[in-house]
Structure 1
Amino acid sequence: MLGPLTPEEFREHLPALASLLTDAVDGGASVGFLAPFDRVAAVDWWRRQAPHVASGAQCVWVAETGGEVVGTVILHREPKANAAHRGEVRKLLVRRDARGAGLGRGLLAAARHHAAATGLTLLVLDTATGSPAEGLYRQDGWTPYGVVPDYARDPAGALEDCTFFYRRLP
């Protein structure tokens, strides 16, 4: 995995990023969208992230296998002065047929190393309680700090609990 995408690379990757997002929602992942969720909506969501990528508020990485984008993660930098030390990991997505090969762990490591190298000292994230992602975060050294019941809806619309995590950086 290389560094985060440049704004130009981000725009070039929009179709692949949209495919990842629709795959996640189609697979039942609670990533902020309700089914039915189509490619047009996915492209639109990613396009709305372009200004944040261009400003440096968000860094986006992709993982590729055989020339195809099969994973992504976003590192969001907090713009408030009292939170400039903190970042949030968002939209860690790995295509369903590419899971289990360590891509999620690699994407997390890339975001974490970049965060530390650019002065961040704390990362946070959240995920559906009991999801495979929760296990990944625990195995990767993240510390849970709370569960909020009925925090979000899964793609089918059912309410589900959410576990919040943090990770201190050197």
Structure 2
Amino acid sequence: MSRLSAAELLSAADELADLLTDAVDGGASVGFLAPLGRAEAADWWRGRAEAVAAGELAVWAARTGGRVTGTVGLAFPGRPNSRHRAEVVKLMVHRDGRGQGLGRRLLATAEHAAAVAGVTLLHLDTETGSPAESLYRSAGWTRAGAIPDYAATPEGALHATTIFYKHVGPAVPPG
């Protein structure tokens, strides 16, 4: 598993696009509607390079057999009153690689990197009732609540989204 630089992200955009289209084709609610074309998915990944270069986004990719089989990201807010937190984004595992612990390893990687970076609180959202909910609960995340009709599935149906959070480092007093 490796953290991608902006140049590495650009270089891997087509591979990352394959993972993203697989996730959407598999019904994952990751912000896109089906059908998601490979070119559109690659362009989306390329569009993240600037945020990676600016330190606003960190992206890790896991490879199995030479291809990208999973990703996770950390989005860092830029406001002074929120520098202690980050959002876990785009945790995806290729359908061929699910059930083998890769999602848990990606999540642990993001949690560790956040703590090392001085982040003390992580948050994320996921489709209510999805298999991801059990992953987050078993990894020590706390359910904050659910918002009805928050996002659309790849097929366009509205569904509830569950918000989770986790403390990953010692709280640092302001000042």
> Which letter maps to 2:72?
V
Q: Residue 11 of structure 2 aligns to which amino acid in structure 1? A: E
- For residue 7 of structure 1, report the CA deviation from its aligned partner: 1.6
**1:41 deviation in Å?**
1.0
Which residue number in structure 2 is paired with residue 96 of structure 1? Answer: 95
Listed as ranges, the gaps of 5+ residues in structure 2 are 170-175
Paired residue for 1:37?
Answer: 36
- Taking the TM superposition and a 5 Å limit, the aligned residue runs for 1:128-167 are 128-167=127-166
Deviations 1:64-95 (A, max 9, x none): 11111100011111111100000000000000
Q: Which residue of 2 aligns with 1:12?
A: 11
Structure 1: gaps (5+ residues): none
Aligned AA (1:7): A
Please give the residue correspondences for 1:48-59 in structure 2 after superposition, counting only pairs within 5 Å.
48-59=47-58
Residue number in structure 2 paired with 1:115: 114
How far off its partner does 1:48 sit? 1.1
Percent of matched pairs sharing the same residue: 57
Question: Shift of the alpha carbon at 1:6?
Answer: 1.4
The aligned residue for residue 65 of structure 1 is 64
Quote the offset at 1:59 in angstroms: 0.5
Q: How far off is 1:128 after superposition?
A: 0.2
Deviation at 1:122, TM superposition (A): 0.3
Cα displacement string for residues 129-150 of structure 1 (whole angstroms, at most 9, x for unaligned residues): 0101111111111000010011
Secondary structure of 1:52's aligned partner: helix
- Residue 73 of structure 2 aligns with which residue? 74
What amino acid is the match of 2:38? R
Q: Which amino acid aligns with 1:41?
A: E
- For residues 118 and 34 of structure 1, the distance between their equivalents in structure 2, rounded to whole angstroms, comes to 33
Structure 2 SS opposite 1:56: coil
Partner of 2:173: none
Which runs of at least 4 in structure 1 moved beyond 2 Å after TM superposition? none
Give the CA RMSD over aligned residues: 0.8
Offset from partner CA, 1:13-53 (integer Å, 9 cap, x none): 11111111100000111111111211011011111111001
Query: Do the aligned partners of 2:144 and 2:162 also contact (CA within 8 Å) in 1?
Result: yes
Q: TM-score, normalised by structure 1?
A: 0.97
How does the TM-score come out when normalised to structure 2?
Answer: 0.94
Aligned counterparts of 2:137 and 2:15: Cα–Cα separation in 1:
28
Q: Select between 151-160 and 4-13 the one with higher mean Cα deviation.
A: 4-13
